[in-house]
Structure 1
Amino acid sequence: MVKTVVRDPSSLGQPVSLGHVLVQAWNRITRSFAPRSPYKIGDAVVADDPFKGRREGLVVFLQGTSVGVDTVHGVFFYDHRQLKKLD
């Protein structure tokens, strides 16, 4: 007989459904294959875009391949392929 509820010892015995556990595992697997940026928050970068120009700043936002760069003129959003680390 298969149980539809699995006990999770880390959450003090709160019942966890088997479907919820499978969804979490599937999300972890698919997230590992998703594109992501090689930069971390706080990295100093140079952004070069033909429309926005060349700007230097710090990475303040990361979501997938989108990177927010805080410059003296404000925050600009770039694709991670348009950035280079500042030496």
Structure 2
Amino acid sequence: MVRDDYAQDLIRLGRPVSLGDALARVLGRLLAGFSPRCPYRVGDTVIGDDPFSGRREGVVVWRDRRSVGVKTTYGVFFFDHRLVKPQD
């Protein structure tokens, strides 16, 4: 079944890929494996100690490769994962 309201995006279709672009993608994926990763998971209870936003206790509700979002009673605060410790 063909939809009449759908048009395929032809911008990258048939465009040649240079050797430099392919090597840059491969190198980027390789280096991403060695970059720091966040050891916390969503739902972990942690303490975030930041000199600017203060000490906050809460639950991890968002995580990225290098940062976490900690939900506290005052809202969600974002910390670098190196400034967060697990709560005892």
Q: Which TM-score band (shorter chain)?
A: 0.5 to 0.7
TM-score (norm 1): 0.64
1:4 aligned residue: none
Tell me, which stretches of 5 or more residues in structure 1 are unaligned? Answer: 1-23
Distance 1:66 1:78 in 2: 6
Identify the residue that residue 31 of structure 1 maps to in structure 2: 32
2:62 is the alignment partner of 1:61: yes
Once residues 29 and 53 of structure 2 are traced to their aligned partners in structure 1, the CA distance between those partners, rounded to angstroms, is: 35
1:31 Cα deviation after fit: 3.3
Match of 1:42 in 2: 43
* TM-aligned CA deviation for residue 47 of structure 1: 0.7
Q: Which residue does 1:51 correspond to in 2? A: 52
CA RMSD of aligned residues (A): 2.3
Runs of 4+ in 1 over 6 A off after TM superposition: 24-27
- Matched pairs, number: 71
Instruction: Quote the offset at 1:35 in angstroms.
Output: 1.5
Q: Which has the higher helix share?
A: 1
* Alignment TM-score, normalising by the size of structure 2: 0.64
Structure (1 or 2) with the greater strand fraction? 1
| Identity across matched positions, percent | 53
Counterpart-to-counterpart distance in 1, 2:30 and 2:52 = 37
